[in-house]
Structure 1
Amino acid sequence: MPSTIRSQLEQDGYVVLEDFLRPAECDELAAAGRELAQQAAHAADKSVFSTLEGEKQQLSDSYFLESNDKIRFFFESGAVGSDGKLQVDPSVSLNKVGHALHLLHPIFRCYTFSDRVKAVCRELDLVEPSVVQSMYIYKNPGLGGEVIAHQDASYLYTEPIPPVGLWIALEDATVQNGCLWMAAGSHKSGVHRRLIRNPDKDAKQALVYDRAAPVYPQSAFSAVPVTKGTCVVIHGHVVHKSAHNKSDKSRHAYTFHVVERHNNSYSADNWLQEGRGAPFVNLYTTPQME
Structure 2
Amino acid sequence: MRLEQEQIDAFFENGFVLADGFLDLDELDHLRACYMETIDRLKREQVLENVQSGSDRDEDFQVYQIRTAHLRHPVFRMLINDSRLLDMVESLIGPDIRLIHYQGIYKPAYTGGEVRWHQDNDYFKVAENRTISVWLALDDVTVENGCMWYPPGHHHQLLEHEQLWSTSEKKGFYLAIPEIDDTRALPAESRAAVLPFIIV
Q: Please confirm whether the aligned pair reaches a TM-score higher than 0.5, indicating the same fold.
A: yes
In the superposition, relative to structure 1, how do residues 111 and 49 fare at CA in structure 2: closer, same or farther (>3 Å)? Answer: same
How far apart, in 2, do the equivalents of 1:235 and 1:103 lie? Answer: 25
Work out the percentage of aligned pairs sharing the same amino acid: 23
TM-score, normalised to structure 1, is 0.59
Higher strand proportion (structure 1 or 2) = 1
Structure-to-structure mapping, 1:123-134, within 5 angstroms: 123-134=91-102
> How far apart are the structure 2 equivalents of 1:225 and 1:39?
30
Q: 1:186 to 1:228 in 2, by over 3 A?
A: same
Matching of residues 1-290 of structure 1 within 5 Å: 1=2, 2-44=4-46, 47-50=49-52, 77-78=54-55, 80-81=56-57, 87-88=58-59, 92=60, 94-188=62-156, 190-193=157-160, 213-236=177-200
| 1:207 CA displacement | 7.6
**8 Å contact 2:34–2:73 — kept in the other structure?**
no
Please state whether the residue corresponding to 1:215 is helix, strand or coil: coil
Change (3 A) 1:218 1:185: closer
- Greater share of helix residues, 1 or 2? 2
Q: Secondary structure at the match of 1:159?
A: coil
Deviation at 1:114, TM superposition (A): 0.3
Matches of 1:26 and 1:226, distance apart in 2: 14
Rounded Cα–Cα distance in structure 1 between residues aligned with 2:133 and 2:72: 19
Number of residue-to-residue matches in the alignment: 192
Distance in 1 separating the partners of 2:20 and 2:75? 21
Gaps of 5+ in 1: 56-76, 82-86, 197-203, 237-290
Q: Which has the larger radius of gyration?
A: 1
CA RMSD of aligned residues (A): 2.7
What amino acid does structure 1 have at the position aligned with 2:153?
G
User: For 1:39 and 1:23, how far apart are their aligned partners in 2?
Assistant: 24
Deviation at residue 46 of structure 1 after TM alignment = 5.6
CA contact (8 A) 2:162 2:177 kept: no
1:15 to 1:38, Cα distance in 2 relative to 1, 3 A: same
Task: Deviation per CA, 1:100-124: give whole Å up to 9, x if none.
Answer: 1124420011111101111012201
- 3-state secondary structure, aligned to 2:183: helix
Amino acid at match of 2:146: G
CA distance change for structure 1 residues 208 and 107 in 2, over 3 Å: closer, same or farther? closer
Task: Provide the C-alpha distance between the structure 2 equivalents of 1:205 and 1:186, rounded to a whole number of angstroms.
Answer: 29
- What is the rounded CA distance, in whole Å, between the counterparts of 1:181 and 1:192 in structure 2? 17
Matched letter for residue 29 of structure 2: D
Change (3 A) 1:142 1:118: closer
Shift of 1:45: 5.3
- The whole-number CA distance in structure 1 between the counterparts of 2:45 and 2:22 is 33
